Amino acid sequence: MLLRDVEHGDVDAYVRMRCDPVMMAELGGPLPREGIEAKVRRDVRRAAADTDWTKMIVPDAARPDVVAGAVTLWSHDEDGERISEIGWMVLPEYQGQGLGKQGVRALLELARDDGRWGSIHAFPATFNAPSNGICRSLGFRLLGTQDIPFAGRVLQAHHWVIDPCIDRT
């Protein structure tokens, strides 16, 4: 498994991850197909500017065009405080193989080595057992449950946090 920066050619993977009802079930349902190219362009620009990290999970380094999912790290304001947040998605045919956990671990290690992200928060849906399991197994601490806005919806999520410079994944 390796992580690589998002590229303009990743539109199809974004569509499969964000516009599919099964993939988006824990996030309130699929996003509209319109606007996906613009989302990829924004993510590519932010990755190139090194403000956000959107990494594609590649199961086989010999085939960097084959994508299993994505893991992203970004900062935003939450209740008047600047926080770093991590999120991930793994396509159905790659789920259950440990690629999501490997991708999250690898991105946390990059964040630890970079040193600028501070504590990193994750907000998987309360009923998303695989993502909550990744948080638990990598050493995130559960802070509680809260409602979070996502794509014009409100979702109930577990709030996890880890400091990659202190906590070992």
Per-residue pLDDT tens for 112-151?
999 999 999 999 999 899 999 999 999 999 999 999 888 7
Please name the residues in contact with 110: beta carbons below 8 A apart, sequence gap of 6 or more.
3, 53
With contact defined as beta carbons under 8 Å apart, do 104 and 71 qualify?
A: yes
What's the pTM value of the predicted model, to 2 decimals?
0.93
3-state SS assignment for residue 145: strand
Instruction: Give the per-residue pLDDT at 168.
Output: 65
Q: Tell whether the model's pLDDT for residue 92 goes beyond 60.
A: yes
Which tokens belong to 45? 């620009």
Count of other CB atoms within 10 angstroms of residue 111: 22
